[in-house]
Amino acid sequence: MIPYLLVWILPFVLPVQQSQTDSLKKIIETTDNDSLKASSLYNLSKLYYTFDQDTAILYGKEAIAIAKERGLKIIEANAMNIVGVSYLIQSDYESSLSTHLEALGIRETLQDTTGIIESTMNLGNIYYRLHEPEKAVVQYQKSLTLAQLINHERAMSLLYNNIGSFYLDRWLSFKEAEDFNKTKEYLEKSKAIKEKLNDKRSLTNTLLQLGELYYESGEKQRGIRLLTQALDIAEELNNTEGRLSALGTLSDYHRDNKSLAQALDYAAQAYELAQQTKSNYQISIAASKMAHLSALNKDFEKAYEFQRVKEASNDSIFNDSRQKIRTELEIQYESEKKELENQRLIKDQELSELAITRKNELLFTFIIVAILLIGLAWYQLNTNQKLYAAHRALKEINSKVQAQNQRIQQQSDQLSSTNLELKQANSFRDKLFSIISHDLRAPFSSLSTSLELWESGDLSKKDMDFVLSSIALDANAASNLLSNLLTWTRTQMSSDKVKNSGIALADLITENKNLFAKQLEQKNLKLNNKIPSDFTITTDRDRLNFILRNILSNAIKFTPQGGDICVEIAPNHLSTIIIRDSGVGMNQSQQDSLFNNKQYSTSGTNGEQGTGIGLMLSKDFADSIGATISVSSELGKSTTFRLEF
């Protein structure tokens, strides 16, 4: 078991009281004392970190900024510790590790023994979360030695707990008696100190681990009692992580004891709580547990549903990782850009020094000439020759400076052009990879999940029909996505230029009507082509056809059985094409999401699937041919698209 995050600087962590936050915020708004402001921001961060990590990080970073500027090292290190703890709760291990290491460096400089104990222990927690228990226990032992040296009971209780977690994991893996005895010894020591200090929040974690130890060793009733006690305390203190751990473990144990209904109840509570945390890591764990229990309960539809949630959470974690890589590349680019700027400044400095040298040379020359003119009139001819030589040298220097300035300007223009091309290439790459990694992975992930359920052999005919229909819908969605992507990518790569020609619009609508004949027949829909046969429009035929095909596809998807779809020209604006359906309509929020990069998608009236990118790509094509797409809709009645040239 991985120990939960322990911050011993707070003896009790209760839900944030409005009076406390209001008081601290008032101090921050009214005080001119930077030390008091930084301290208040730090205390606000402490109040929020257990249940709202984003707010805690925001206040903590403000405290760090002021403390750094004013040299308030203790407040800076303490605020860094809270920010690092908040990152760890959010599973942002890299940020947490770098923040705690920086805090440890400050505390070692200050010889702050209490702070060193705290930072070293939290570094151990990070290594434990990173599945490096051997590194973690080394940090815990270092911290424990210092805590025992100054007899810091609270720190000792948390460290006994964490070291007990290490031996508990070893015992669960190898079942060695020595590991069992050490686990019991350390956890019981931790429990005794926490009960003495009345540290209920931290006691929750110890009870969870003791409950697991006794349950797995055969004392099942004693183990479940301890776990239930831990859950009660966690709920009392609104300890989200403690509740998630207790609910998950109780669900597993009731599942093992064949109490499937009780196991499902605990797992459902854990899933609801995980969703509230918005942590993809916690949601993935909880959804996986619900999928497994639903399958055991023969509810394969729910099992499939929760498996989809798990896959989506894992995809989000993957996308987060990709975003970090992109950020690192951007930082590298900015560093290189700054280096080029530094080189330019050096060149400017050299030019400035050269100009000063030139001025000094001229001044010296004029002084010499003046002296020669006054004192040595007979030497005038020779002086004029020297002056002419100096003037020629000056012109050569000026010519060189101008040539150098021109080269610098050319390099600057070339760099700007290269940067613009790089940004455009990166924008296209990111958009394409985002669509492929998210929308194309999802249908194939769903196909894989459906096939796994099929191969399990436990599906009834009804369940089999459900899975097969899901496979068909996902395959159709993947096919449509690939078709749209290929058309859009061809234009983005500039291999397909805009080709305008006169188009008989009525024929183009009839062509799409024939394309969707099967779907129209299946849903008994009427597609009324009211475009005059002699009406023509001049534009790129392929791009216009792509736009019309996507809008008509959506109209068919969201129009119920027996509905109508009408295509006509606006009577007062002959360059506007109107496509109207009698479908389910949309609310304002759905309309606002159609043409942006959020890729909004819902199932059609017959369960048709889509990816949400068709209209987004249609807008790209419309922009490329100088047209605009707009939509108006009335929820439950109809939707009208307008394509205006």
The burial class, CB within 10 Å (0-12 / 13-18 / 19+), for 577 is buried
Please calculate the CA angle 375-378-379 and round it to the nearest 5 degrees.
Answer: 80
Q: How much is the average pLDDT of 609-634?
A: 83
H-helix or E-strand spanning residue 218: none
Percent over 70 (pLDDT), the chain: 77
The angle subtended at Cα 323 by Cα 319 and Cα 328, nearest 5°, is 150
pLDDT at residue 390 is higher than 80: no
Position 252 pLDDT exceeds 90: no
Mean pLDDT of 195-203: 90
Please say whether the beta carbons of 600 and 590 come within 8 A. Answer: yes
CA distance 118 to 112: 10
Least confident of 83-97, 416-430, 571-585: 416-430
Q: Which two tokens stand for residue 362?
A: 């001229």
Q: Which long-range contacts (CB under 8 A, 24 or more apart) does 371-380 make?
A: none
pLDDT average, residue stretch 192-213: 90
Task: For residue 577, list its beta bridge partners.
Answer: 569, 643
Least Cα distance to 73 among 94, 102, 32, 44 occurs for 102
User: pLDDT tens digit string along 22-34?
Assistant: 888 888 889 899 9
Mean pLDDT of 603-623: 73
pLDDT-wise least confident of 162-176, 325-339, 358-372, 402-416: 325-339
With cut-offs at 50, 70 and 90, classify the pLDDT of residue 569: very high
d(CA 452, CA 464): 12
State CA 645 to chain mean position distance: 38
Answer whether residue 351 shows pLDDT above 70.
no
* In contact, 450 and 304? CB cutoff 8 Å: yes
Computed on alpha carbons and rounded to an integer, the radius of gyration of the chain in Å comes to: 36
At 217, list the tokens: 């060793």
Under the banding of pLDDT at 50, 70 and 90, the label for residue 601 is low
532 pLDDT more than 60: yes
> How confident is residue 358, by pLDDT bands cut at 50, 70 and 90?
confident
- 471 band by pLDDT with thresholds 50, 70 and 90: low
Q: What is the DSSP string of 559-595?
A: SPTT-EEEEEEETTEEEEEEEEE-S----HHHHHTTT
Residues 3 and 39 sit within 8 Å (Cβ to Cβ): no
Average pLDDT over residues 81-100: 94
Entry field: residues in the chain:
645
What is the pLDDT averaged over residues 509-530? 92
Q: Is residue 99's pLDDT more than 50?
A: yes
Percent of the chain with pLDDT over 90: 39
Check pLDDT > 50 for residue 372: yes
Angle at CA of residue 88, ends 82 and 90, nearest 5°: 110
Q: Can you give the pLDDT at residue 320?
A: 55
Which residue from 593, 609, 505, 506 is spatially nearest to 554, judged by alpha carbons? 609
Distance CA 166, CA 163 (A): 5
- Residue 441's pLDDT band, with cuts at 50, 70 and 90, is low
Between 67-81, 122-136, 425-439, 479-493, the lowest mean confidence (pLDDT) is in 425-439
Q: Which helix (H) or strand (E) holds 495?
A: none
Q: What are phi and psi of 529, to 5 degrees?
A: -95, 100
Kindly give, in sequence order, each residue whose CB lies less than 8 Å from that of residue 540, ignoring residues fewer than 6 positions away.
498, 499, 500, 501, 624, 625
Give the pLDDT confidence score for residue 17 in this predicted structure.
Answer: 52
Q: Which residues pair with 631 in a beta bridge?
A: 641
Q: How far apart are CA 523 and CA 519, in angstroms?
A: 6
Band of the pLDDT at 263, cuts 50, 70, 90? confident
Mean pLDDT, rounded, of the chain = 82
**What domains can you pick out in the chain, each with its CATH number?**
1-141 (1.25.40.10), 497-644 (3.30.565.10)
The pLDDT of residue 54 is above 90: yes
Contacts of 430 (CB under 8 A, 6+ apart): 326
pLDDT of residue 424: 55
Sheet containing 628-634: order of strands: 526-529, 564-570, 573-581, 638-644, 628-634
Beta strand 526-529 pairing with 564-570: parallel
Query: What residues pair up with 642 in beta bridges, in sequence order?
Result: 578, 630
Give the residue with greater pLDDT, 401 vs 506: 506
Say yes or no to pLDDT of 43 above 70.
Answer: yes
Which residues are paired to 643 by β-bridges?
Answer: 577, 629
Q: List beta partners, residue 569.
A: 577
Mean pLDDT of 251-279: 87
- 155-159, 198-202, 339-343, 624-628: which range is least confident on average? 339-343
Q: Which residue has the higher pLDDT, 10 or 422?
A: 422
Assess whether pLDDT exceeds 90 at residue 484: no
Closest CA to 62 of 85, 86, 45: 45
Q: In what helix (H) or strand (E) does residue 534 lie, and over which residues does it extend?
A: none
Confidence of residue 5 (pLDDT cuts 50, 70, 90): very low
| Whole-number pLDDT of residue 94 | 92
Q: Is the pLDDT of residue 321 over 50?
A: no
